[in-house]
Amino acid sequence: MDEEKRAGKSEDAEEVREILSVVSKEVPALIKGIIASVFSEEAGRGMGKAAAAFYKELKESGMPDEVAVKMTENYISVFTSLGDLMKKFTEGKEKPTKLEKEIEEIVEEAVEEAREKGISERLEEEIERRVKEKLAEKGLLEEEE
Partner 1 sequence: MKITAIIRAGLHLIKLILNLGFLWLTLGWKVRKARRAFEKELIKGGIPKEAAKKLGKKYASVKDEIMRQIRGSIWRMRH
Q: Which residues bind partner 1 (CB under 8 A)?
A: 6, 9-10, 13-14, 16-17, 20-21, 23-24, 27-28, 31-32, 35, 38-45, 47-49, 51-53, 55-56, 59, 65, 69, 72-73, 76-77, 79-80, 82-83, 86-87, 90
Residue 135 identity? L
- Are 100 and 131 in contact by the 8 Å Cβ rule? The answer is no
- Are 123 and 111 in contact by the 8 Å Cβ rule? The answer is yes
State the CB neighbour count (10 A cutoff) for residue 80.
10
Q: Is 29 or 135 the residue whose CB approaches partner 1 more closely?
A: 29
Q: Is 31 or 136 the residue whose CB approaches partner 1 more closely?
A: 31
Q: DSSP H helical segments within 40-97, as ranges?
A: 41-60, 65-80, 82-91
In angstroms, what is the minimal distance from the CB of 62 to partner 1?
15
Q: Is 56 or 129 the residue whose CB approaches partner 1 more closely?
A: 56
Phi and psi at 97, nearest 5°, equal -75, 175
In angstroms, what is the minimal distance from the CB of 112 to partner 1?
33
Dmax over Cα atoms in the chain, in whole Å? 85
In angstroms, what is the minimal distance from the CB of 106 to partner 1?
32
Counts of helices then strands in the chain (DSSP H, E): 6, 0
Q: Is 75 or 123 the residue whose CB approaches partner 1 more closely?
A: 75
In angstroms, what is the minimal distance from the CB of 97 to partner 1?
22
In angstroms, what is the minimal distance from the CB of 4 to partner 1?
14
